Structure formats: C-alpha cells, structure tokens
Structure 1
Amino acid sequence: MDAPTDPTLHALRRGDLAGARELRLGGPLAEFPPEIFGLAETLERLDLTGCGLTALPDEMGRLTKLRVLFCSGNRFDRLPPSLGDCRALSQIGFRATGLREVPAEALPPSLRWLTLTDNRIAHLPDALGARPQLQKLMLSGNRLRALPNSLEGAARLELLRLSANGFEALPSWLPALPRLAWISWAGNPVEGVSEPADVPRVPWTALALGARLGEGASGWIHRALWRTPASEEPEPVAVKLFKGRMTSDGLPEREMAACLAAGRHPNLTGALGQVEGHPEGGQGLLMPLIPERWRVLAGPPSLESCSRDVCAPDFAVSLDQVLRLATSVARAAAHLHGRGVLHGDLYGHNTLWDGETGEAVLSDFGAACLLPRDRAGEVWQRIETRAWGILLGEMLDRCTAEPSADSSALTDLREWEQACLQPNPRGRPSMAEVVNSLSTLLSPDRHASG
C-alpha cells in the first residue's frame, strides 16, 4: 500500500481520528479507504470530492450515522447501489462524475437533498418519488427528457433545477406541487428563445477594471470605471465576468440572456450593457454599482437548513424595514413576470439591501428562465409567489415590532404571507397584486392615520 500523501488520510490510518463526526479526504485515492469504517459509530459527514474514485464498497450501510456524502468530481458511471443501505443518509452530491445510471436501490430512505448536476443521466427511477423527505433536487446539465411521474407525490419538494436538459415539455403536475418555490428550466427546448435585448455593446477597452467585489457560482463581479462618449468623467459600474461553465443552476449564457431580457428596474441589478472584445474571449455584463453600505440580506442555505436561508443570530429588522424590503423584492418579481421572466432563485441571499432605509434589489439571474407566453406562465408565476412569501415570513419572524402598537400592519403582512404560502398555487396572488397591496401599506396616508 502506498504511503498516503494526504495528512488527514495519514491520521486516519494511524487511528488519530477516532470519534470523528466529519471527514474530508483530498486524494488521490486508488480505492475507498477501509479505515473509514472504523468511524462507523460517529461519522456523519464524508467528503471525497475529487479523489479519483470509481467505486464505493458494498458495505456502505455500515456507516449507520452517515448523513452527508460528497463524491463530486470523481468518475462514477453508476450511482453506487450501496448508498441505499445508509439509513441516515439524507444528502448526496455526485456532481460532474460522468453518471449515466441511477438505480432505484441507490436512493436511501431518508433522502432529502440530491445533487446530480453535470452528468449524463437520461432516466430517473420511479423510486425517487417514494422518498418522503425529498426537499431539494439538482438535475441541471443532464440528458433528461422527462421526470418520473412518482414525483407528483413529492409533497415536500421545494427546490428543483432542470436547466440544460432535453425537456420539450414540463409535466402538467409539476406546478401543482404544494411546496415548490424555486425552479429553473433554462436551456431546455421547452424554454424557447428570447427576443434580442436592446442594450449597449460595451467595448472592453472602455472599461477600467478595479477590485473584485464578489464571486458566485457563475462568475466574478468587479468594480469598474466605464468611459462613455457622452460623459467627460468615467461612470462607476460593476462588471460580471462569467466563468463559462455549468453551475448548479444552469448555463452562464442563459443567465446572461435572462438578465438582458429582464430590462432595467430600480429593484433589480439588471444589465446596463453587454461586454464585448474581452482579450480572452470571455463574456460579461455591465451592471449598476450598488452603494457600499448595502449588504446581502441573508446567508445561503446550509447543510442543515437545506432549502432555507441562514440569517445571523442577532439579525433583526423593524416593521418599516420589513415593509420596504418586501415591497422592493415584490416590485422586482412583478417586473420580471411582466417581462416574461421567472427569477427562479428569489431568496434573501440573492437580495442586497440598505439596512438604514430597507430599500433592496434582487440580484443573481443564474436560475432565471423564460416563462411560457400562454396562461401556463401565470401558474409558474405563483410558484415564485411562494418564494416571496417564505422570504416575507423569515423577515417577520425577526421583526422587532410590538404587536400591540403595530397590530394592523403586522396582521396585514401575516395575511399576505399565508396567502402566498397556501398549498394550491392557483389560489395564490400574483406579485402584481401583492405590490398593489403593499403600496397601500406604504402610503403616507396610512402612516398619518396610524
């Protein structure tokens, strides 16, 4: 046996990791280290990403406490059937492994979050819909043309990614799922083609790139100065440069198309123009520069929260901030729906806000897709209504308002939250209806009368 180069593997083989709950091995590995079974009574999270593995042992069920398994970046033609023997396993990640087959017996009974992005899967087993805890399903970048009808019974499914597959139609039962709130089908034949966006083409030579402001799954965002013929002084802007590879949400070029189709709106980080002439052939968008004091509203979902954002423990907002924040995001969503675009990822972690005024903008079009032009588009809009209702509820749960002093406004907002969360999507209000109501709550007359 070769001497391990990974210090963690070396420690595992020496017996130094007894009682460990988490294990991350960096590889390369010729085989699954049998010493891992020595942690069977305690191991809950195992990360074997990029280790060069091609198989897992038949005895995986011995890991009785294992809840999370990451095997992305390895080479698996088939999802290992032995995973189905892991009774506690709830989260599985096999991204970009070359998977072609997903056997029914590979799906553990406690499955909650399954990531199979960027593989070669053309068929999923009916057993997938027989996993009652299924909440998050990531299938972008495969060869799927249909979903198993058993998923019609997936009552807990909240987030679904279908981008960059071969769907020519979506199942009629899909928008009726009672908890579905975040979905994307961009890059499938069913999406259709957007009209060419009428935005400026910005030469790379007209930009002076500055410090990096952030990084997402699809690209990097930089501060920049834009020199335009119409202005003597360069304009401060943000530039998003795309990485050009598949993300869990879909393809970067579909993100660009959706962002351009969305048009300009004060509550969106929309596109000012499209960058051309990048020296390395990269793609980019010019966007408004958000004021420095603005912050991301929440952190992304954790392994524990699965499909729900995570806020700082001390995060709190006033009733006025909740109202202004919720109205800003609702206006952004209503504008998108009016332009035939579904955001697909309406979350606090994709919302930038001013903690002083409560004003906010919705960002990140990585999961956005084009809505059907017929009445079917209205049903999909109501899926996003639920996402907004979840965000509103999360903010109200952290609101510092005194119920006795603000009972009327709090009651109104809680009623809108419940209306947006009702299980029947067709009974939910449109985002335009939500905006009209919230605008009344924001009106000076209401504040004066209160």
Structure 2
Amino acid sequence: MTAKKTEGFVLEAEHLEELLRSAVKEELGVGASGRALLIRWGEGDAVLKLAHSEILENSTYSDDVLLRLSLRLCVTVQEVHDRGYIHNDLMDDNVLVDEATGRVSIIDFGNACRPGQDVGYSASSNVNLAPEILGGGPSTAASDVFSVGFLLGQILDEMDQPSRTLGRLAREMQSSDPRWRPALPAVIQRLDSC
C-alpha cells in the first residue's frame, strides 16, 4: 500500500446525478457524515463520499447493536494492524457501516504508514488523535487505539443505557500515556464478553 496524492473536487448537482445513475458499482457503507460508493471513474474505480447528517446522532441502533458495532470496529482496525499498517486518521468520517449486514469498513488510508514511521502531524486540535503523534512522534498500534477509544466514547454517548465495560475501555484507550492503553486484542476479548 502506498499513499497517493489525491485531488478533491466538487461536482455540480447535475453531474452528480448522472454519476449516481450511471457509474455506481457498489455501496461500500455508511459512515458518520455520509456514505461511500465505489464508482467507475475513467479507466478505473474511485470512492465517492456523499455527505449527510451524522449517522450516530440520528441512529436508531439498539444498545446491543452499538456494542456489536464497537466490537466490529476494533476487529477491523486490528486487521489493518495485522497487515502491517497504522491508519492514523480514525474518526467517524472514515468508518463505514453497511446497515444491511453490519459490516464495518475503514476508509481513507491517506495518512497510513508502517509502525514506527512519523506521519508528519504537527500540533493540532484533533481530539481523536493520540497526543504522541500530534507531537511528531512515531505511529504505533497504540496511537490507533487512542483514536478507536475516542470513537467508542462517541458510540457510548448514543446508548440509552451506556455499557460500563465500553465506558471503561474508552477511557483506558484514551490514556495520555500509550503504555497504559490496552492492546486491541485485549479490547476485542473484553468487548466479546459483553
């Protein structure tokens, strides 16, 4: 996997409608601020993100479904780590949920790198990113764990009866010291027992 420079662009309404009618190959999933579609673009494929209101804020997911989505999110991020990459940009915009199957997908690997590399963040107000990578430190599985903990906290906020286990995990995962954050396999095991 190599990071490629991409260009963002805005489609006029009539061009977007034509693209949606003729070029959509597959819906990849629904995220917090939109849905992602795989489309035919020129000689290849591209991902098109369509914005909408935040899915969690308007969700009708039960607490049980939110717990299962939390587990699936952790498993999906662990799969990225198992392939030898750190995502470095885990936030609600980059997590998609297929509402029909419950499959969780991660998108936007533009800041992904191998463990130990510096992603190049400077001081920022991104509360979802680990302090060590915002300070210019190397990317590690623990830095992604911090971001997943932030996402779990957002999921927790949407529960009717918040899970104590999920709350405890979210806090532990967002420890300012990466050595105190639990590893994803341990998080997965704890969520699986809920």
> TM-score scaled by structure 1?
0.28
Match of 2:38 in 1: 238
Match of 2:89 in 1: 345
After superposition, the Cα gap between the structure-2 partners of 1:212 and 1:440, relative to the gap in structure 1 and judged at 3 Å, is farther
SS in 2 for 1:366: coil
Match among 151, 165, 171 for residue 418 of structure 1: 171
Match among 126, 143, 148 for residue 383 of structure 1: 143
After superposition, the Cα gap between the structure-2 partners of 1:440 and 1:361, relative to the gap in structure 1 and judged at 3 Å, is same
Match among 68, 71, 77 for residue 324 of structure 1: 68
**Within-5 A mapping of 1:49-448:** 212=19, 222-224=23-25, 238-239=38-39, 241=41, 278=43, 284=44, 313-355=57-99, 358-372=102-116, 380-400=140-160, 402=161, 410-441=163-194
User: Based on CA coordinates, which of the two structures has the bigger radius of gyration?
Assistant: 1
Is the 1:296–1:351 Cα contact (8 Å) retained in structure 2?
A: no
- 1:11-39 Cα distance to aligned partner (Å, 9 max, x none): xxxxxxxxxxxxxxxxxxxxxxxxxxxxx
Q: Which amino acid aligns with 2:71?
A: T
- 1:52-106 Cα distance to aligned partner (Å, 9 max, x none): xxxxxxxxxxxxxxxxxxxxxxxxxxxxxxxxxxxxxxxxxxxxxxxxxxxxxxx
After superposition, the Cα gap between the structure-2 partners of 1:331 and 1:356, relative to the gap in structure 1 and judged at 3 Å, is same
Shift of 1:367: 2.0
Is the 1:352–1:362 Cα contact (8 Å) retained in structure 2?
A: yes
Q: Which amino acid aligns with 1:431?
A: L
Q: Which amino acid aligns with 2:190?
A: S
Shift of 1:316: 4.9
SS in 2 for 1:436: helix
Q: Which runs of 5+ in 2 are unaligned?
A: 5-17, 27-36, 118-137
- CA distance in 1 between counterparts of 2:50 and 2:192 reads 24
After superposition, the Cα gap between the structure-2 partners of 1:382 and 1:438, relative to the gap in structure 1 and judged at 3 Å, is same
Shift of 1:324: 1.4
SS in 1 for 2:68: helix
Is the 1:353–1:361 Cα contact (8 Å) retained in structure 2?
A: yes
Is the 2:90–2:147 Cα contact (8 Å) retained in structure 1?
A: yes
Is the 2:165–2:191 Cα contact (8 Å) retained in structure 1?
A: no
How many residues align structurally? 147
- CA distance in 1 between counterparts of 2:151 and 2:187 reads 13
Is the 2:25–2:40 Cα contact (8 Å) retained in structure 1?
A: no
Identical columns (%): 26
After superposition, the Cα gap between the structure-2 partners of 1:351 and 1:212, relative to the gap in structure 1 and judged at 3 Å, is farther
Is the 2:86–2:112 Cα contact (8 Å) retained in structure 1?
A: yes
Q: Which runs of 5+ in 1 are unaligned?
A: 1-185, 188-210, 214-221, 226-236, 243-277, 279-283, 288-294, 300-309, 404-409, 442-450
Q: Which amino acid aligns with 1:411?
A: R
Is the 1:350–1:364 Cα contact (8 Å) retained in structure 2?
A: yes
Root mean square deviation, CA, Å: 3.7
SS in 2 for 1:384: helix
> TM-score scaled by structure 2?
0.60
SS in 1 for 2:65: helix
- 1:306-355 Cα distance to aligned partner (Å, 9 max, x none): xxxx6675445321121111111111111111111111221211122144
